[in-house]
A and B are shown apart, each in its own frame.
Chain A
Amino acid sequence: MGWSLIRGWTLLVYVFMFLPVAVVVLLSFNASQFGSFPMTGLSVRWFVELAQNDAILRAFRTSIILGLLTAVLSTILGVLASLALVRYRVPGSNLISTLLIAPILVPEVVLAVALLLFLNFLSINKSFMLLLFGHVIFTLPFVVLVVQARLIAIRRDIEEAAMSLGASPVQTFFEVTLPLMLPAVLAGALFAFTISFDDITGTLFWKPGGVETVPTQIFAMLRNSISPEINALGTVMILLTVGLPLLGLAIARQMSAKRGR
Chain B
Amino acid sequence: MSVERREARQPWILLSPALAAIALLLFVPLVFILIYSFWLRTATGADQIGFFLDNWQEALSDRFYRDILLGTLKIALITTIACALMGYPAAYFIARSRGNKAILLLLLMLPFWVSYIIRTMSWINILGVSGAVNSILLSLGIINEPIQMLYNETTVILGLVHFLLPFMILNVFVSLDGIDETLEDASNSLGATKWQSFLEVTLPLSLPGLAAGGLLCFVLGAGTYITPLILGGPTDAMFANLVYEAIITQLNWPLGSALSLMLLVVLGTLVLIYNRYLGMAQLMKGLG
From A6, A7, A23, A78, B132 is in contact (CB under 8 Å) with A23
Residues on the B chain within 8 Å of A166, using CB:
none
Q: How far is the CA of A78 from the CA of B19 in the complex (A)?
A: 10
Q: Are A37 and B131 in contact (CB under 8 A)?
A: yes
* Interface check B1, CB cutoff 8 A: no
Chain B contacts of A133 at CB under 8 A?
25
Could you tell me the distance between the alpha carbons of A10 and B89 in the complex, rounded to whole angstroms? 7
State the Cβ distance, B237 to closest chain A Cβ, in Å: 13
Measured between alpha carbons, how far is A85 from B165 in the docked complex, in Å?
31
Residue of A37, A102, A108, A114 most packed against chain B (CB within 10 A):
A114
Tell which of A9, A116, A134, A140 touches B90, judged by Cβ atoms closer than 8 Å.
Answer: A9
Instruction: Determine the distance from Cα of A39 to Cα of B25 in the docked complex, in whole angstroms.
Output: 48
Contact present for B119 and A113 (CB under 8 Å): no
In whole angstroms, how far apart are the Cα atoms of A80 and B111 in the complex?
31
Residues of B contacting A136 with CB < 8 Å?
Answer: 21, 25
Secondary structure class of chain B's binding surface, majority of residues: helix
Taking the nearest CB of chain A, how far is it from the CB of B145, in angstroms?
15
Contact with A along B10-54 (1 / 0, CB 8 A): 111011011101100111111011001000000000000000000
**Is B125 touching A36 in the complex (CB atoms < 8 A)?**
yes
Q: How far is the CA of A245 from the CA of B256 in the complex (A)?
A: 37
The smallest beta-carbon distance between B34 and chain A, in angstroms, is 9
Contact-residue bracket for chain B:
35 or more
The answer to whether A101 and B284 have CB atoms under 8 Å apart is yes
Segment touching B, from A43-51, A92-100, A154-162: A92-100
Is the CB–CB distance between B22 and A137 below 8 Å?
A: yes
In the complex where A10-B89, A142-B287, A145-B284 touch, is A226 in contact with B124 (Cβ < 8 A)? yes
B212 → chain A closest CB, angstroms: 13
Q: Report A39 CB to chain B, min CB distance, Å.
A: 9
Please tell me if the beta carbons of A113 and B260 are within 8 angstroms of each other in the complex: yes
Which residues of chain A have C-beta atoms less than 8 A from B125's C-beta? 20, 23-24, 27, 35-36, 226, 231
Task: Out of A34, A84, A214, name the residue touching B14 (CB < 8 Å).
Answer: A84
Residues of B within 8 A of A98 (CB): 280
Q: Which residues of A contact B233 (CB under 8 A)?
A: none
Given contacts A9-B93, A76-B17, A230-B121, whether A20 and B135 have CB atoms under 8 Å apart is no
B190 at the interface (CB under 8 A from A): no
Interface centre among A34, A97, A109, A215 (most CB of B within 10 A): A109
B59-67, B177-185, B224-232 - the one binding chain A = B224-232
Q: Does A111 contact B (CB under 8 A)?
A: yes
26 inter-chain pairs at a CB distance below 8 angstroms, sorted by A residue, are A2-B194, A2-B195, A6-B92, A20-B126, A21-B122, A24-B118, A24-B122, A80-B14, A80-B17, A84-B15, A90-B12, A106-B30, A110-B223, A110-B264, A113-B243, A113-B256, A114-B30, A115-B25, A115-B29, A133-B25, A136-B25, A137-B21, A148-B288, A204-B248, A205-B244, A238-B115
B residues engaging A (CB < 8 A)?
A: 7, 10-12, 14-15, 17-19, 21-22, 25-30, 32-33, 36, 86-87, 89-90, 92-94, 107-119, 121-126, 128, 130-132, 134-135, 139, 162, 165-166, 169, 194-195, 219, 222-226, 229-230, 240, 243-244, 247-248, 253, 256-257, 260-261, 263-264, 267-268, 271, 280, 284, 287-288
Q: Pick the 9 closest A-B CB pairs, nearest first.
A: A107-B223, A118-B29, A20-B122, A114-B29, A36-B130, A84-B14, A37-B135, A88-B11, A84-B11
